[in-house]
């Protein structure tokens, strides 16, 4: 994350499984309704990650295959629940 006033790197995150940077754009939203923004990122290591605004891992969700997209976040049916969407490519 880069601060807006100084453009200095405040923190960064790499996959603990692969040790690499994440390949796709992140999405930012209050995912759990606590009033704080979270950062959701996807990775080629077959996981999606949710980070706090300070870069701490809040949760990791295993996917069936490598996640091949940036996350999309929306309340698509108007029920007040945020849903996360990812695209992955099944290889078998």
pLDDT tens digits for range 1-49: 555 566 677 667 777 766 666 667 789 999 888 999 999 988 877 888 8
CA 38 – CA 33 distance, rounded (Å)? 10
pLDDT tens digits for range 57-66: 899 888 877 7
Higher pLDDT, 89 or 67: 67
- Region 47-53: mean pLDDT is 88
Whether residue 52 is predicted with pLDDT greater than 80 in this model: the reply is: yes
53 close to 44: Cβ distance less than 8 angstroms? no
CA 72 – CA 46 distance, rounded (Å)? 17
Query: 17-26, 48-57, 72-81 — which is least confidently predicted?
Result: 17-26
């Amino acid at each position: 994350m880069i601060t807006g006033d100084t453009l200095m790197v405040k923190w960064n995150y790499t996959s603990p499984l692969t040790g690499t940077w994440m390949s796709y754009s992140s999405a930012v939203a209050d995912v759990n309704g606590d009033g704080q923004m979270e950062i959701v990122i996807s990775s080629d290591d077959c996981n999606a990650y949710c980070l706090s605004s300070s870069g701490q891992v809040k949760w990791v969700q295993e996917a069936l295959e490598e996640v091949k997209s940036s996350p999309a976040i929306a309340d698509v049916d108007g029920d007040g629940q945020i849903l996360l969407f990812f695209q992955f490519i099944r290889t078998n």
